[in-house]
Amino acid sequence: MKIIDILEPTAVLDDLLGSTPAKVLSAICGPLAERTGLDRREMVEALLSRERLGSTALGGGVAVPHAKMLGLRGVIAGLGRSRVGIRFKSPDGQPIRVFLALFAPENARGEHLQALAHVSRLFERRNLCHRLLNAKDSAEIYELLAAEDAR
């Protein structure tokens, strides 16, 4: 699996303006809801429900909120960058500045876990978050992710 298999350029937001997890996740879910026809509020609630079980923040300014949804045919992702950072119960206490939200079909067990593992490994790479934060726009963010994933 490659990031470009689940993340479309139109689902990359380079300047999240929300100041709370719910607002940030709502912004990220917007393009995904348009693409899939799913209800944005239901998508946000699914992510927040998962967060209540335990934080999906990886540390280092990155979080990978994820949920399963009825009505999906495959795994999809949306990425948002916050220039100021959002408090998100990160294990290292740092504000989250890069959010990669993953959604999988309700019955997709292996595909969901594979996507989570792949994204987690991708964000373990040195300096990736720093480069994403310094990208000039959403197109450059997408290109950086695609290039890093191709390595």
Per-residue model confidence as pLDDT tens digits over 95-145: 999 999 999 999 887 888 899 999 999 998 878 999 999 999 999 999 999
Cβ count within 10 A of residue 85: 15
Residue 118 bears catalytic tag: no
Alpha helices per DSSP H over 7-102: 21-36, 40-53
Per annotation, catalytic residue among 66, 112, 118, 130? 66
pLDDT in tens, 35-87: 999 999 999 999 999 999 999 999 899 999 999 999 999 999 999 999 999 99
> 62-63 and 7-13: which strand pairing?
unpaired
Q: How far is the C-alpha of 55 from the C-alpha of 48, rounded, in Å? A: 10
